[in-house]
Structure 1
Amino acid sequence: MEATSSKGTGSDVVVDVTSTLCDRKCLHWSEPEATSSENARGDIWMAILEPRSKVRMFNSRRISRVSKSLKVTMRFPVLFYLHTHLFRFAHLVLKMTATNETQHNVKEFLLAGIPGLQTHQNLLFIALLLVYLAVMAGNLLILYLVILDQRLHTPMYFFLCHLSVLDILITTTILPKMFAVILLEDRIISFSWCFVQMYLVLAIGCTENVILIVMAYDRYIAIMKPLHYHLIINGKLCVLLAVGAWVLGYLAPFVPLINALSLTYCGPNIVAYCYCDYPAVVSLACADVSDIISMAFINAMCIVNIPLLLILFSYFRIILNIYFTNTEDSKKAFSTCSSHLIVVLTYYFSLDLLYITVVIGNISADARVIIGVFIYLLTPLLNPIIYSLRNKQIKQAAEKYLDLPLRPITFFH
């Protein structure tokens, strides 16, 4: 790295340097240059590994007063511990984004959108808006019917509600900013909000992975141990599984996110994507990020394919059990499994396709963007359709309760 000029007075000296790694000129503050990346990462891990050290972002008494109002966390001490530390981690991430934003040259990013479809912006906006409305209507309808119909107050539909909430969240995280880019040409997104969007996309995706595993486990117990189903899958276990899925899903992206925040962003700020995708943002750093992207790819493939293998193994056992027993109850239970299996295959294979396009070099940027948008909109759009068309209870609830007001609900009778 070669210095070309310097300016400023005092201890804060701005130096123009030419990076041999990224072949572009970058502005650095000379004083924190040597320690900004390492110290930032060290502070984060110190706070995680030593929560009682000086790096304390919240007043523990204030957190305790807030958490005492939450009945679930007070009933489960482990959840209370995770609840308080999740807030500490989230505050640390926001502090890291603010630190990077003040220390480095990049204050905001520009989303490229879908450059290949610039001449069809109005048509693209209408198509995406219709898809968004269909996703919202379908998933909200499932939530409405499950809440309304007492027959649907079972563990399977309880987890289905969580899946619908995740589908709503992922589309709401991505599409509104895309609408602004397409219709208003508002491509600017702040440094902090870009990383918030990146984190939410990763966290929601990880949570959906865990929820799909939980749903497969529920169907496995229903078919393999039908007489003990209500003893094993009780209300308390369902709540623990659901809370655990959300906690694990939102904790999983912290390591790659911290690695991304520890990088220096000083060069081009155009994200070659329609939202703040992890590889697209990290590739803008003024450093060699090939190892980070490769590690993130390996982690993503493990997070996607290990749950897929577990789910496929459980369904293999289910199919063998149905083949040898050949009872009506098993066939009836498997009819609900077929909907879940279609959702699983659609979701996981589409994610594999998305991650593979990242490492394939001969795919154009426009093709990657279109594939990514299609995948993140496909499963939220298809999930309500699959569960509605292949589920008699959902269709009966729609026919009977669609025009009736909401009533108080109690799950797990």
Structure 2
Amino acid sequence: MLEQKQTILMPPALSNSSCWRSGPITSWSGPGPGELVRAALILALSLGILCANLLVICVINSRRYSKYIHAQPRYLLTSLASNDLAIGLLVTPFGFLPAVYGCWPYGEVTCQIQALLRGALTQQSAVILVCMAIDRYMCMLHPHHYHRHSSKKGCVAVMSTTWIASVAVFGALVLPRGGYYFNGSGLLACDPFFARASLRILACCCFYFPTTMVLMYCYGSAFHVNKLRLKRVVCVNAPEVVGGGHIERLVAHERRLSTSASRTMAAMSLGFIVMVTPWTIQEVVAACTGSKPPPFLDFLATWLALSNSFWNPFLYWLLNNHFRRISKELLYTKILCRPKPLGPKQHCCATSTGGLDICSIGGLDLSGMERCSMERCSMGRCSSLSLATTPPPLPWETGPSCVGVGVGVAGGRESPT
């Protein structure tokens, strides 16, 4: 009877890849055009990740943006941006010098820490995207249960637990000697090393397939149910709002606020799937065949997956007009020290009461009504609004109305126009 033994792989010695290895010093001709291009791409991507995620963290946690997002999605987006910021600070910059010199100049301990962070941070990004998808699923399909039981402490506890679990799993893989190696063709830094091909395949599949399935199911179900719900409530009063109650009012408001946030988060999740798929296919094929991909393809697939940390804030900026407007205002006032730029909404509905506009009175987001109200709002009607007046009723409580109806202000009261 023949015994089938699984091949145990051994990582290449780091001394063979170190810039300070002992032995005769060979002549060094300097980096070529390919090495310089790789280094420039790594440097540009690292700076882009740092700047973009810092902007996201500052804007979504500012007081001006708080009325457009609830606490739980804000915590999740902040956690994702912080995780991507750590990737841009602790993972990607370490590939710059190896891209130029073709060796690892930082030592063995740094290589071990680098491999641990590379595995834990990328896995944590996938976990946060899953938590965001589940949050949007619960918010849009079960809003009453969501508003009663969601809490900031629970969100922080979930993020902390998943982070500890990611570090513990990759610590068990990387911290033993031989659990890391210098990837001189793909990451140009240190990666976790799997002694068996089956472990490498399992790690890739656990990272990619559960995440993809949860994202597609949660967002697909949420948007399908939301589309059916909108068909029922357009041009009619929502029954749960007419019944009164704080929870019903909050649910109706949330349905309008959550649609834009859910679309943005879904686009970020789709970007993750698109960017990570080539790297996952390459890793599975290389592990199954026992071959090594060409250096150019290995570098392209690896850094395309890492570039997801930059595309997340870019997609958020591109698809969320409130985030884009407040980002521009913060850049003008805080960075460039210039007066706040005046947009069309300020020209239409700005008042003398500290910049309060009709699209945000009472903490209510009426930005979806801007297109119609911009054309009909006049300075004479808007200037009569003051902070001392009682908050107006919600738009859907004033009578049957369609999505996108304009809002006028006459004599300090709202009236549909």
Q: TM-score normalized by structure 1?
A: 0.61
- Aligned letter for 2:281? I
The equivalences for 1:73-88 within 5 A come to: none
Question: For residues 323-378 of structure 1, what are the alpha-carbon distances to aligned partners after superposition, in whole Å with 9 as ceiling and x for unaligned?
Answer: 3212476465232222212221222343332132122447412211222022212x
Structure 1 residues 331 and 309, CA gap change in structure 2 (3 angstroms): farther
State the partner residue of 2:208.
304
Residue of structure 1 aligned with 2:327, choices 398, 403, 413 = 398
Question: Which residue number corresponds to residue 388 of structure 1?
Answer: 317
Equivalent-residue separation in structure 2 for 1:376 and 1:255 (angstroms): 23
User: In the alignment, does 2:190 pair up with 1:276?
Assistant: yes
Distance 1:128 1:353, change over 3 A: same
The residue aligned with 1:218 is 135
The secondary structure found in structure 1 opposite 2:226 is helix
Larger Cα-atom Rg: 2
Matched, 1:317 2:234: no
Are 2:55 and 1:141 aligned? Answer: yes
Q: Within the alignment, does 1:130 sit opposite 2:40 as a pair?
A: no
Gap runs ≥5 in structure 1: 1-20, 25-99, 112-116, 283-288, 407-413
Gap runs ≥5 in structure 2: 1-6, 20-30, 235-251, 336-417
Does residue 1:169 correspond to 2:98, yes or no?
no
d(CA) in 2 for partners of 1:263, 1:183: 26
Structure 1 residues 181, 214: CA separation in 2 closer, same or farther (over 3 Å shift)?
A: same
- The equivalent residue for 1:344 is 269
CA contact (8 A) 2:17 2:103 kept: no
User: Counterpart in 1 of 2:73?
Assistant: 156
Say whether the 8 Å CA contact 2:276–2:304 is kept in structure 1. no
Aligned AA (2:125): E
Hey, what does 2:408 align to over in structure 1? none
2:301 corresponds to 1:371: yes
Structure 1: how far apart are the matches of 2:41 and 2:281? 26
Residue 234 (structure 1) aligned with residue 151 (structure 2): yes
The farther-off stretch of 136-145 and 248-257 is 248-257
Q: 1:248 to 1:404 in 2, by over 3 A?
A: farther
- 141 and 254 in structure 1: CA distance in 2 versus 1, 3 angstrom threshold: same
Partners of 2:61 and 2:125 in 1: CA distance:
21
Provide closer, same or farther for how the CA distance between residues 109 and 389 of structure 1 changes in structure 2, counting only shifts above 3 A: same
For residues 403 and 368 of structure 1, the distance between their equivalents in structure 2, rounded to whole angstroms, comes to 41
Alpha-carbon distance in 2 for matches of 1:304, 1:293: 17
One-letter code aligned to 2:127: V
The CA distance in 2 between the partners of 1:338 and 1:222, in whole Å, is: 13
Counterparts of 2:183 and 2:121, CA distance in 1:
25
Partners of 2:134 and 2:82 lie apart in 1 by: 20
C-alpha spacing 1:357/1:229, structure 2 compared with 1 (3 Å):
same
Residue 116 (structure 2) aligns with: 199
**Quick one: distance in 2 between partners of 1:278 and 1:380?**
20
The equivalent position to 1:334 in structure 2, one of 255, 259, 270, is: 259
After TM superposition, give the deviation of residue 272 of structure 1 in Å: 4.1
Name the structure 2 match of 1:245.
Answer: 162
Whole-angstrom distance in 2 between the partners of 1:161 and 1:121? 35
Q: Report the CA distance between 1:194 and its aligned residue.
A: 1.3
C-alpha displacement of 1:380: 1.4
Aligned-partner SS, 1:188: coil
Output the CA distance in 2 between the equivalents of 1:105 and 1:369: 21
**Given the superposition, is the C-alpha separation of residues 300 and 256 from structure 1 closer, same or farther in structure 2, using an over 3 Å criterion?**
farther
Structure with more relative contact order (C-alpha pairs < 8 Å, separation 6 or more): 1
User: Match of 1:301, SS?
Assistant: helix
Structure 1 pair 269–133 and aligned structure 2 pair: CA distance change class (3 A): closer
The residue type paired with residue 392 of structure 1 is N
Residue type of the alignment partner of 1:344: S
Retained in 1: the 8 A contact 2:137–2:219?
yes
Work out whether residues 183 and 191 of structure 2, in 8 Å CA contact, stay in contact via their aligned partners in 1.
no
Q: Distance in 1 between matches of 2:13 and 2:256?
A: 62
For the residues of structure 2 that align with 1:228 and 1:367, how far apart are their CA atoms? 47
Q: 1:231 to 1:180 in 2, by over 3 A?
A: same
Check the 8 A contact 2:72/2:152 in 1, yes or no: yes
Helix, strand or coil at the partner of 1:276: strand
The residue that corresponds to 2:371 in the other structure is none
Which one of 257, 266, 273 corresponds to residue 174 of structure 2?
A: 257
Size of the aligned set, in residue pairs, is 288
Moved more, 331-340 or 297-306: 331-340
Check conservation: 1:194, 1:276, Cα contact below 8 A: yes
Counterpart AA for 1:225: H
1:206-264 Cα distance to aligned partner (Å, 9 max, x none): 11121111111221122112234332221221221221222222223234325xx3549
Superposed CA RMSD in Å reads: 3.4
Cα pair distance change 1:402/1:189, threshold 3 Å: closer
User: Aligned partners of 1:194, 1:264: CA distance in 2, in Å?
Assistant: 11
Using the TM superposition, name which of 218-227 and 194-203 deviates more.
Answer: 218-227
Mapped partners of 2:140, 2:182: distance in 1 = 53
Matches within 5 A, 1:28-177: 107=15, 109-110=17-18, 118-149=32-63, 150-151=66-67, 152=69, 154-177=71-94
